[in-house]
Amino acid sequence: MKILIVDDEKDVETLFRQKFRKEIKTGNLELVFAFSGREALDILEESNPPKVMYMFSDINMPGMSGLELLEEVKARYPELQVSMISAYGDQENHDKAMDSGATGFFTKPIDFESLKKEINNLLQ
Amino acid sequence: MNVEIIVAIILISYLRTSSLTYEVPLRWKKTLKWGLIVSITVWILDVSTLLGDVFGKVLSILLVGAVIYAILRFKELDKGRQLVFAWLPLLLLSLIIEVVEFIFPQFYKRWDDYFLLAIFCAIAWGIAMWINNNRQRKALEREKIKSLAREQEFKATEQMKIMLERQVRERTSALTQQKEELEKTLEELKSTQAQLIHAEKMASLGELTAGIAHEIQNPLNFVNNFSEVSSELLDEMKEELQKGDIEEVKVLVEDIKLNLEKINHHGKRADAIVKGMLMHSRNNSEEKSLTDINALAEEYLRLSYHGLRAKDKSFNASFKLDLHPDLPSINIVPQDIGRVFLNLINNAFYAVNQQAKNLQEKGIQDYTPKVEVATALYSDHGRGNVMITIRDNGIGIPQAIKAKIFQPFFTTKPTGEGTGLGLSLSYDIIKAHGGNLEVGHNDSNDQFNAEIGLEESCRGTVFTITLPYDNI
């Protein structure tokens, strides 16, 4: 399963790759990374329908924000599941994300246990 | 002929007439009045020959004698003195003639004509003296009038002087009061200004805090995450060691080493942010130090962006850094220049946010708010300068207020949102560094602007800071 992670912090890639080391190693999980909303859309456009099954996106990014990306992605690929990750765990962002069709809402620092659970549910 | 009584009447009448130079003395008024009545009565009786010849004469002599005595004796009747001398010859002559006539009637008769001539001469003398006296008196009166006028003028001047002095006193006290009030106001203004400057500092600190919180949170998350994951990797490594898979152990060691580097990197990042915050809030540290302008610009751009993001969830803008790679470090007060950056960048973000709102109201889509911070080197008459431009495509600054934006307390933001001191302080800081702060229109004429037909002054703003680096 291919998962796309969008965050402007590049170290997120290292972190995720190590956290899901085992899953990647077994070939169950494939991670792709984008560092801006624009890049994420480019990756999704590579094939139609996209090979990516799940997208995690940071909200607070320069340029296109995570919420804008969410709307855009949901408009183009309604099937794709999207969860948001935000440094600000406020109700406003949460509600907006949910209204726009987000599957989940995670706050930073990311609780990898629940994230893993969510991904494992998908894998099964 | 009874000359004496006539002279007496003339003298008394004369004394009873007031003039500018002579006031009839009060205590003499009654006496003079009765003197005149008596004299006239005597004269009438004498003329009508009711009195005896000798008796009338003696009475007349006594009367005129009394009058002359009074005039010569009392100073207040001094006015008559001239007249006395005018008629004295006539009186004496008349007396002599009477005596001569009485004692030597023969002699008198023989020289009759000569005596008459002498009498006429005496009368002429008297009249001449009288006229002369009158003329002198008139001249005296004129003088008197003049001196009276002068006196009056002097009095008027005195009065005017007193009035003016009073006015001057009043004005002086009013002015003194005004001066004191103004001094008080000035003091109040000074303290208000100090308070406002402090408020501005605190406001920008407040703006910073939100940005700082976010900026610190991110590296701290990484520190936590990487240390956790490292611990997990170590557990895995133990398993691999038990299995004896040395290759896998090697990979894990590399990963852990990388993680420790990451932890160190993000720890340092948080450290630098805290240090920056401390520098910003420090009140009196004004020491210059060699500073990397690129790093400072980047730091404050991020702080500004995240600060505004934290404050206003709907805020968003893209920003771009275009940094000159070989910028020399320059000697500046970093927290001061940092404040300038923060101010200008905050303004830029505010402007693009406003523009986004404006255009959205007009139904115009596809607007991309952009803030760009660029550094460059340029030489001006052999002086090396570092140039920092902060460019936005926001609402722009109307030509009309462009000249005012560096004035203290000038703000276009709604009341309570801006102190109006940001740009004025920025200007002062840059000037204190020997540099220059200029404002201009964003002249980039991109397709978007052309399509929606924005006026030049509404296409955004460019602030240019120049800081010399060779002479500080």
Between B334-361 and B422-432, two packed helices, what is the crossing angle to 10 degrees?
140
Structural domain includes residue B105: yes
Burial class (CB in 10 A: 0-12, 13-18, 19+), B199: middle
Chain A residue with minimal CA distance to B369?
A63
Structural domain includes residue B107: yes
pLDDT tens track of chain B, all 472 residues?
578 888 888 888 888 888 777 788 888 888 889 989 988 988 888 888 777 777 888 888 888 888 888 888 888 888 788 888 888 888 888 888 888 888 888 888 888 888 888 888 888 988 898 888 888 888 888 998 999 999 999 999 999 999 999 999 999 999 999 999 999 999 999 888 778 777 777 776 676 676 677 778 888 989 999 999 999 999 999 999 999 889 989 999 999 999 999 999 999 888 877 776 666 555 555 688 888 999 999 988 988 888 888 777 778 888 889 999 988 889 998 888 988 999 999 999 999 998 888 888 888 878 888 999 999 998 877 778 999 999 999 988 888 888 888 887 677 776 656 667 788 888 888 988 889 999 988 877 666 666 666 766 678 899 999 998 865 4
CB contact under 8 A, B306 and A92: no
Structural domain includes residue B331: yes
A67–chain B nearest CA distance, Å:
10
Q: Which of B214, B215, B218, B252 is most worth mutating to test chain A (most A CB atoms within 10 A of its CB)?
A: B218
Tokens at B131, concatenated? 């006229």
Other C-beta atoms lying within 10 Å of the C-beta of residue A61: 25
Q: Write down which residue in B158, B186, B215 finishes a domain.
A: B158
pLDDT of residue B156: 94
Structural domain includes residue B214: no
Tokens at B124, concatenated? 């002429």
B354 neighbors B435 (Cβ within 8 angstroms): no
At a CB cut-off of 8 Å and minimum separation 6, what does B59 contact? B5, B42, B51
A33 neighbors A9 (Cβ within 8 angstroms): no
Tell me how far CA of residue A46 lies from CA of B215, B391, B411, in angstroms. Answer: 33, 34, 49
Burial class (CB in 10 A: 0-12, 13-18, 19+), A69: buried
What's the whole-number average pLDDT of chain A? Answer: 87
pLDDT of residue B450: 62
Contacting residues of A for B222, CB less than 8 Å apart:
9, 11, 15
Q: Write down which residue in B158, B193, B211 finishes a domain.
A: B158
Structural domain includes residue B179: no
d(CA B428, CA B406): 9
Total domains, chain B: 2
DSSP state, residue B19? B
CB contact under 8 A, A60 and B214: yes
Chain B residue with minimal CA distance to A66?
B316
CB contact under 8 A, B221 and A108: yes
CB contact under 8 A, A87 and B214: yes
Query: Which parts of B244-361 fold into alpha helices (H)?
Result: 246-281, 293-311, 334-361
pLDDT of residue B216: 82
CB contact under 8 A, B266 and A110: no
C-alpha angle B167-B168-B171 in degrees, rounded to nearest 5: 85
Q: What is the CATH number of the domain that holds B299?
A: 3.30.565.10
pLDDT of residue B83: 82
CB contact under 8 A, A11 and B306: no
| Residue A14 contacts B, CB cutoff 8 Å | yes
Q: Write down which residue in B158, B178, B209 finishes a domain.
A: B158
User: Which residue among B217, B262, B306 places its CB closest to the CB of A14?
Assistant: B262
Structural domain includes residue B15: yes
Other C-beta atoms lying within 10 Å of the C-beta of residue B123: 15
A55 has which bridge partners? A4, A82
CB contact under 8 A, B313 and A9: no
Q: Which domain holds residue B433?
A: 287-472
At a CB cut-off of 8 Å and minimum separation 6, what does A21 contact? B233, B236
Domains, chain A, in order of start with CATH, read 2-123 (3.40.50.2300)
pLDDT of residue B144: 87
CB contact under 8 A, B217 and A87: yes
Structural domain includes residue B457: yes
Distance of CA B310 to the CA centre of its chain: 47
pLDDT of residue B472: 43
Query: Which parts of B48-111 fold into alpha helices (H)?
Result: 53-73, 81-103, 105-110
Q: Are residue B318 and residue B461 in the same domain, yes or no?
A: yes
Structural domain includes residue B174: no
Q: Are residue B151 and residue B299 in the same domain, yes or no?
A: no
Three state DSSP letters for B156-206 = HHHHHHHHHHHHHHHHHHHHHHHHHHHHHHHHHHHHHHHHHHHHHHHHHHH
Give the type of residue at B391.
R
